[in-house]
Amino acid sequence: MAVTRKIIHIDCDCFYASVEMRDNPALREVPLAIGGAADRRGVIATCNYVARKYGVRSAMSTFRAQQLCPTLVLLPADFARYREASQHIRRIFADFTSMIEPLSLDEAYLDVTGLPHCQGSATRMAEAIRARIEAEVGITASAGIAPNKLLAKIASDWNKPNGQFLIRPEDVEAFMLALPAARLWGVGKVTAEKLKRLGVESCADLQRWPLSRLVQEFGRFGEQLYEQCRGLDHRVVAPDERRKSLSVENTYAQDLPDLAACLAELPELYEDWQRRMSRAEGYVPHKAFVKIKYADFSQTTMECLSFAPTLDTFSRLLHEAFPRGQQAVRLLGVGVRFHDEPDAPLQMSLW
């Protein structure tokens, strides 16, 4: 008989902004965001809940955020302090389990199956972890408790901020029927809009679709949708699993007509990539790449050796890759591939 897992997903509340408010209490009552300057096509990394009342959101352009909230206090990221807080939180996790899979500086999966802490209650463990984060680090965190990673991550967002939510195995079927399809992993704005056009708004709607039709409409991702909408996730918490790459991409509402339009979008993608890369401690880039998906859904990737790619690196790759399609572009992505081993020797960039 298979063991029912007990998975906790911990997600700190507006992490960067919380550290700033902890160190400067005067910021707690004002709309606050961490991000790049608007005149450099900056992007909001995170913001506090006061700013969110104005409609400010992560990944929004700083220019747009300041339009929505003219009184927005904008601070640059201070990753040294954020990493210090993250390392303290990791030590707290380690007091409860060795099965920790970090996703970023401020969130992680914990497998607490069969462990004795808090009388074996995953719910009480999550409460204890959150209480220690608040007492020792000075910020709040939310938690989701569930039998798999998919559900735990969904649950951690359910009672934010500073809350937690439990999905028991016997609750999964009813919970999934009512869950909006847009809450599933990998369903971004574009996929959500496509699902809505196809008459799918809830996981109950999605469950009526046969696997063959999902694959026809969404390719291999259709297989994931088939399982996700039923609350199924077979992934294990993998403490030693290392990323093979880190990238960001954007599908545009209107196709980018030419190379110049693509190059104009590159700084925002690059800044988003830099923000995510800053969280990937211990990873050494080996190759940089640009991904292009054209209007006809054909795609190409151009890469080069580089251990520290700059905006110019990605610009050169885009210049080389774009002529392969000679048509409008619907998706752009930038990223890096990592060494298989963390201490592998570095290969200098060709540029």
Annotated binding site for Mg(2+): 11, 106
DSSP 277: H
- Count of other CB atoms within 10 angstroms of residue 13: 19
Binding site residue list: 11, 106
Written as six digits, the tokens of 83 are 């990493």
**Nearest to 20, CA basis, from 61, 74, 57:** 74
* Burial of 61: CB neighbours in 10 Å, binned 0-12, 13-18, 19+: middle
How far apart are the C-alpha atoms of 12 and 340, rounded to whole Å? 29
Query: Angle at which helices 221-228 and 211-218 pack, to 10 degrees?
Result: 140
- 20, 101, 107, 268: the catalytic one is 107
Is 170 tagged catalytic?
no
| Longest CA pairwise span in the chain (Å) | 63
Written as six digits, the tokens of 120 are 């074996």
In angstroms and rounded to an integer, the radius of gyration of the C-alpha atoms of the chain is 21
Contact 42, 1 (CB under 8 A): no
Torsion of CA 31, 35, 38, 42, to 10 degrees: -150
> Which positions are annotated as active-site residues?
107
